[in-house]
Each structure stands twice: as C-alpha cells, then as structure tokens.
C-alpha cells in the first residue's frame, strides 16, 4: 500500500529534495505552503517545478494552530517531516522574536495536532548542529550537551525537546535529526555557501568585482542536502523513534570553501574576497564537526558527496544560472551579495 507523507517547509532546499526522493520511492507526498505561495507559484515554488504535478499542496501557516490542525483532519499521513522554520542564523539575531515564534510555536502546533488526531503518524523534527553552539566536545554526537549561540539555535533546542517530550509523555513516534550544515545549488542566497558560489559566478562573468564576507575562519561540517534527506527518511523507517546526528565527519573553513570555489573558475580568492565585519555574528560558533557513527550503524547511512564535489556542483550551477540570464537578457543585479 502506498505510504503518505506530509512535509512542512516543502518549498525550501531540504523540502524539495525530500519531496523528490519520496516520490521516487512511490510515496504520495503532501506539503504545507503559505497561501501566498500558491498565488505566486513562479516566485515561491521554483524549487518544486520538476515535481509540482505529482504533489498535493495545502495552504496553511505554521503561525496558526487552526490551519495546521485543519490539514491533519482532512488527510491521514504515515509520516510527517517538519522542516518548516526560519533557518537563517543571521536573521535570527536581527529578529529573534519571529524566529522564536515560528520555530517553537510552529513545532508545537504540528505536534499538538498529531497528538489530537494522528498519534501513530511518525514525526521527524529537523534539528541543527547550531544547537551545540559553544561546543563542549569535538566531534559532536547525540550525547553532546547543547549550548546554542544564536536565537535560531535556542529555538531548535526548544523544538528538539518538544519532540522528545511528545515521544516520552504521549508515545508519539518522534525522531530528531541533528543535521550539520548541508548545502546544494538550491540553497538560499543569504547563506554563506551560496553567497560564495553566486559571487564566484558573478565575478567570472564580469558582473561583480569583489565578494564581501564575514568570518573566514569559521569551520563547519558541510554535506549535500540530497544525502541528508535520505537520512531523514531512514530515521522514520526504524521500529523505534530515536535521535541521530547526520554529518560528514569532516570540517572545513569558509576560507577553504572560497579557495575551492574560486579555483573552479581559475581565480585566486585572495584577489576578490573582502572582509565585512558588519556581517559577523554577535556570538560566533567557531567549530562544528559531527560524529555520525550512530546513523551509520543503525540506519546504514553514509554521505556520498564530498566537500570538493559539493563546491564544484554549486559553482557550476550558479555559472549556468547566471550565464542563461545574461544570454536571455534577463535582469541581473550588479551586486557582490
């Protein structure tokens, strides 16, 4: 019998890859989207364009319990992947109130609706390595204490414990994925990885002359979003709900990312990258690296795309995207982003 899954945040990077992955497995896939997205599909549903005709989209807002509850009363789901969130760390410092409201209340609304009408539905919560923040041990694993260093990290810790509480108190099969940084050509332009690859493409094509970045020494464990959505799915196939770190086990600096990205087009990053202290975080997370041995042992999961492969794919995707825009004389902002 065909399984049915609901994805919140289906229009984002992870949601779009997960939707495609589940469709390929034969799932019936549903997604929560804001009503404005349905009214402006060209602008807001771009990542789903290859699978739109196979998806069932429901207008709802994570800011409204009533709208979330309504979706769960209309359709039965075997699995629910809660990916919807305000996920840009920098923005969480600028507007901590909306980050907390969307990320904590939204998670609580979905869990509460599940408890009321679909308590057997398997639930996945998208946790983050930003929950570790000021790390207590390296590498970080499922038992590493949390010490978040941003409103975003705080909101994810709250969501993690909400999910854990619903599992322990009410028996809802809730699994938490503690995902380290995962990128792709579908990453938003506000994130440093996409800012770099977009900047490289612009400089190569003569559309920009420099790239402004913050802390070049910050180190992250970067994987590919396509790999990470496989881990999400595997978690919900286990007989018992549990928590898993998903990572690559390697760490690289923003500087290394720049070096590889510019190298892909035959340029030296030192000739173009300028530091912009205005985009430094008020409280920085310096080193994140995950130990995914539990996911490897229990889920049989391994990453398939290495760091160099990820950077290469993103750079060439942005080159193709911008080259196409220039060729078709579409407006391209002359900006280093």
Q: Where in the chain is the domain with CATH 3.40.50.720?
A: 4-183+222-246
Phi (first) and psi of residue 333, to 5 degrees: -65, 130
pLDDT at 334 over 70: no
Tell me the catalytic residues. Answer: 128, 130, 152
Tokens 């699978």 correspond to what residue? Answer: 51
Q: What is the pLDDT of residue 161?
A: 98
pLDDT at 328 over 80: no
From residue 39, give the alpha-carbon distance in Å to each of 34, 67, 84, 108: 9, 17, 19, 27
pLDDT at 94 over 60: no
Containing H/E element for 52?
none
Phi (first) and psi of residue 302, to 5 degrees: -140, 145
Q: What is the pLDDT of residue 330?
A: 63
What's the CATH architecture for 192-220+251-286+306-327? Alpha-Beta Complex (3.90)
Q: What is the pLDDT of residue 86?
A: 72
From residue 65, give the alpha-carbon distance in Å to each of 60, 102, 175, 285: 9, 11, 21, 33
| Average pLDDT of the segment spanning 115-141 | 95
User: Each residue of 24-34: pLDDT tens digit?
Assistant: 999 999 999 98
Q: Is there a contact between 8 and 62 (Cβ–Cβ < 8 Å)?
A: yes
User: Each residue of 222-251: pLDDT tens digit?
Assistant: 999 999 999 999 999 999 999 999 999 999
Q: What is the pLDDT of residue 337?
A: 33
Predicted structure pTM score: 0.91
**Can you tell me the distance from the alpha carbon of 189 to that of 81, in angstroms, rounded to the nearest whole number?**
24
Reported as a pLDDT band with limits 50, 70 and 90, residue 204 is very high
Q: What is the pLDDT of residue 336?
A: 36
**Can you tell me the distance from the alpha carbon of 187 to that of 192, in angstroms, rounded to the nearest whole number?**
10
**Can you tell me the distance from the alpha carbon of 312 to that of 314, in angstroms, rounded to the nearest whole number?**
6
Please name the fold of domain 4-183+222-246: Rossmann fold (3.40.50)
> For a pLDDT cut of 90, what percent of the chain falls above it?
78
Q: Is there a contact between 140 and 179 (Cβ–Cβ < 8 Å)?
A: no
Q: Where in the chain is the domain with CATH 3.90.25.10?
A: 192-220+251-286+306-327
């Amino acid at each position: 019998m065909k399984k049915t899954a609901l994805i919140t945040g289906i229009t984002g990077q992870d949601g779009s890859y997960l939707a495609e992955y589940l469709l390929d497995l034969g799932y019936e896939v549903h997604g929560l989207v804001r009503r404005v997205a349905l009214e402006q599909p060209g602008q807001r549903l771009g990542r789903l364009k290859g699978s739109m005709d196979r998806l069932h989209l429901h207008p709802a807002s994570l800011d409204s319990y009533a709208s979330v509850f309504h979706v769960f009363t209309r359709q039965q789901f075997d699995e629910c992947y809660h990916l919807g969130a305000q996920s840009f760390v920098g923005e969480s410092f600028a507007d901590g109130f909306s980050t907390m409201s969307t990320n904590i209340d939204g998670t609580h609304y979905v869990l509460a609706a599940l408890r009321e009408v679909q308590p057997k539905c398997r639930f996945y919560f998208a946790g983050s390595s930003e929950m570790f923040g000021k790390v207590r041990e390296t590498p970080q694993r499922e038992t590493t204490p949390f010490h978040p260093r941003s409103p975003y990290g705080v909101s994810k810790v709250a969501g993690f414990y909400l999910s854990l509480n619903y599992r322990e108190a009410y028996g809802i099969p809730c699994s938490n994925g503690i995902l380290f940084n995962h990128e792709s050509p579908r990453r938003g332009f506000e994130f440093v990885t996409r800012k770099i690859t977009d900047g490289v493409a612009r400089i190569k094509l003569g559309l920009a002359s420099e790239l402004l970045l913050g802390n070049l020494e910050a180190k992250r464990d970067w994987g590919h979003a396509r790999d990470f959505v496989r881990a999400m799915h595997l978690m919900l196939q286990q007989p018992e709900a549990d928590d898993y770190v998903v990572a690559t086990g390697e760490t690289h600096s923003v500087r290394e990312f720049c070096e590889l990205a510019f190298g892909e087009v035959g340029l030296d990053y030192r000739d173009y990258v300028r530091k912009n202290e205005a985009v430094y975080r008020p409280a920085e997370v310096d080193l994140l690296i995950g130990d995914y041995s539990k996911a490897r042992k229990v889920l049989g999961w391994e990453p398939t795309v290495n760091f160099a492969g990820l950077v290469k794919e993103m750079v060439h995707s942005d080159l193709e995207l911008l080259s196409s825009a220039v060729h078709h004389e579409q407006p391209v902002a002359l900006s280093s982003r």
